[in-house]
């Protein structure tokens, strides 16, 4: 009898885990298909300013991008979800062109890995190497990848932790550009 209970518990546990995985796979698009809207203007907080040197050697000063929306993507070259969204971000950068400033911030990474990642995915915007993750802490990151959209006045208009498709980011950018 005890043996049957153990077997039943194992079968039930396996079924529960399988069900959760299948449900997650079937509904993963809920994170990326729902309409994304910016944070209400009155509730936005200033984005932490920073001045750093890009992997290319050029200075990157967040304040210089005032007047246009900024998309900041925190990533690591070894991060599977970061790799999964990287090509879409490259396309987003091409789609919005000069209307939006893209910035990448390599966190929890090594410089050579970040440089290979950027080259592989054809990211053409400034990439900041953040070896001590201090920018990640200043932006209250909970994981990677994390995407932050900053409005034209330098305030955080939207933030998403985890892999995301380009559609929600584009929706937020469209709303900011039409405001």
SS3 for 145?
coil
Confidence (pLDDT) at 71: 98
Tell me if 159 sits within 8 A of 149, measured CB to CB: yes
Q: Kindly tell me if the per-residue pLDDT of 177 is higher than 90.
A: yes
Reduced to 3 states, what is the DSSP secondary structure of residue 10?
helix
- Please check the confidence at residue 25 and state whether its pLDDT lies above 60: no
Is residue 6 left, alpha or beta, with left meaning phi > 0 and alpha meaning psi from -120 to 50? alpha
Q: Are 132 and 58 in contact (CB under 8 A)?
A: no
Q: What is the mean pLDDT of the chain?
A: 89
Distance, CA of 110 to CA of 127 (rounded, Å) = 13
Distances (CA, A) of 108 to 57, 73, 79, 117, 141: 20, 13, 10, 14, 12
Predicted confidence (pLDDT) per residue in 39-49, tens digit: 999 999 999 99
Q: What is the pLDDT of residues 48-107, one digit of tens each?
A: 999 999 999 999 999 999 999 999 999 999 999 999 999 999 999 999 999 999 999 999
Q: Give the residue with greater pLDDT, 60 vs 3.
A: 60
């Amino acid at each position: 009898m005890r043996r049957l209970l153990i077997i039943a518990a194992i079968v039930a546990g396996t079924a529960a885990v399988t069900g959760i995985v299948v449900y997650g796979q079937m509904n993963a698009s809920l994170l990326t298909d729902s309409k994304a809207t910016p944070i209400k203007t009155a509730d936005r907080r200033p984005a932490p300013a920073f001045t750093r040197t890009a992997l290319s050697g050029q200075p990157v000063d967040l304040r210089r991008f005032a007047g246009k929306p900024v998309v900041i993507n925190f990533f690591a070259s070894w991060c599977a979800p970061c790799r999964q969204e990287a090509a879409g971000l490259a396309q987003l950068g091409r789609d919005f062109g000069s209307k939006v400033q893209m910035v990448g911030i390599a966190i929890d990474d090594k410089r050579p890995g970040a440089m290979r990642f950027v080259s592989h995915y054809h990211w053409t915007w400034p990439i900041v190497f953040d070896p001590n993750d201090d920018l990640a802490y200043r932006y209250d990151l909970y994981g990677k990848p994390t995407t932050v959209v900053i409005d034209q006045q330098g305030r955080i208009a939207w933030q998403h932790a985890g892999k995301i498709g380009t559609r929600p980011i584009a929706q937020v950018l469209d709303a900011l550009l039409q405001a």
